[in-house]
Structure 1
Amino acid sequence: MSPPSPALAVSGVRKHYGDVRAVDGVSFDVAEGEFVGILGPNGAGKTTTLEIAEGLQEPDDGTVRVFGTSPWPRDPALLPRIGVQLQASSFFDRLTAREQVTTFAALYGVGQARADEMLELVGLADKADAPEKKLSGGQRQRLSIACALVHDPDLVFLDEPTAALDPQARRNLWDVLREIKSRGKTIVYTTHYLDEAEVLCDRVAIMDHGRILAMDAPARLVRGLEAATHVTLDTAVLSLQTAKSLPGADGAETDGVTVTITTRTPAPLLAALAERDAVAGLTVRTATLEDVFLHLTGREYRA
């Protein structure tokens, strides 16, 4: 029995603007029901890749298939199956939040009840009668997501959906995204929040300079880095000189308040600290997706 076709198949896609290679030979598949994140510095090519997959731009080379169909040129039969939330959205002047979502719903023949359900889902039920111009930036972001979901698409594209949200609203939106996935929907999104991608995504693709540098489950990417573990204690508990001499310690440094020990064999180090009764206030930091990201893309500032 042949495996099911992917919801999204991107193969050898390129998009150039003069000498700028915005997307430079990108290939990846997304299975139905999968939650995939695309991560990268500013200018990495994330948004252009999404716009090509959504059918908003034509690639210079390569192919894209959404449920087996090319999204370019625009295919009216395909549009009801995809939902799109862009980085920046424009709404109709003078309409309330409910009227905005209802208008989008009407384009797909969806009734008022579904619009109200989406406002509830994104936490805007209490703002349903508020004009869009009275909403905060984070509330407008959530309104944009409600509009993208109102017709119950099978594949959802979200471009930095949690940008401009405060920490509480961001965590609430995580629950929204989990709920969407639990309904069997496929999600492809971009984000700058690596902790978010590590928690939510089945797989992540790390992009830079228009190319995918790595793509796998977050935990596998972290394990593949083979990064050191950092153990931090208060200087009142352990001196820098003693820290350097402990079994398993590859190095140690202090900021005057704490001592941080670097190790690739944490078991003997932690055992030695326990023998010295030096575990009060101890913290252990293992590698994260952020370490993988910085390892692959570098640490220089990107405007």
Structure 2
Amino acid sequence: MKTAKEAYLDFIKRLTHLISKNPQLINTTLSNIFTIRLIGNKTHGDLAEIAISEFINQYMDDFKSLHVGKDLFRAKEYEEDIRITNKIHNIDFAISLKAYGVGPLQLSTDKHFRMFPRLKTEECPISDPKIISALFEDVAFSGFSNVNVLPLIYDEKKKRCNIMVFDFEKAKENTAKICFETGKQHQKFRFYDKLDGFICEVRYGDKKANALQRGFWTDTKKESALQHGFTSITKGWVDYSENRLLVELFAHALITTRNGHAKALENLKIDIKAPKKNVNV
């Protein structure tokens, strides 16, 4: 193992194995993460980052995880939320964690605004495999291809979640046509498979535009996008349940002293040790 990408792929393989052998661990974690939506619709995303980071530290002994944090995140050239180290090979790699409801999913903000202008230089529709391959290899897409995106997709009505990996190479291999389209809200280039199934899209938006609207997107409601762009770590949907006691715990923690936090943390560490003894790897 020599590269960060190889280390990342090895991590995904081992995380998938861990979850398959110990589903109760991820079910508990996901239930707690999405319970946070009872506090606020946007709060769970940030807390998902520290939760998954701690999950790695507690249950994957060969890896060390660090939550990058928003201040450091904004200073980074590439999008990342968690930095992971393979302790055996001493190789670092980054992960961009996305906690989104099922449906449209932003994979990259394209903060340097390179993708859309590059696609604009081509005559559409684009169906020549050589041109499509050249586009994916272009420097305009290099920033995204270097990002390891790990989406936590949730279906709030059905109380279920799917942890998926967006596979850039898989999307590239299955793209047969790129079309320019003007929708109600966005100008966009849409990527389709050979049966005209949607895979992903690049939306218009310059550097001054809202970062939450522009960039590289897909849609987790579309079967063709799931089939040609993702691999599921959880092997499909897993159920989660709300833990309202956690909300009460947060409420008390916010008006408690550091001394109270220290005592509570010790109890939490003891609680974590119990399932760790029975982890199958």
Normalization by structure 1: what TM-score? 0.26
Larger Rg: 1
Higher helix share: 2
Normalised by the size of structure 2, how large is the TM-score? 0.27
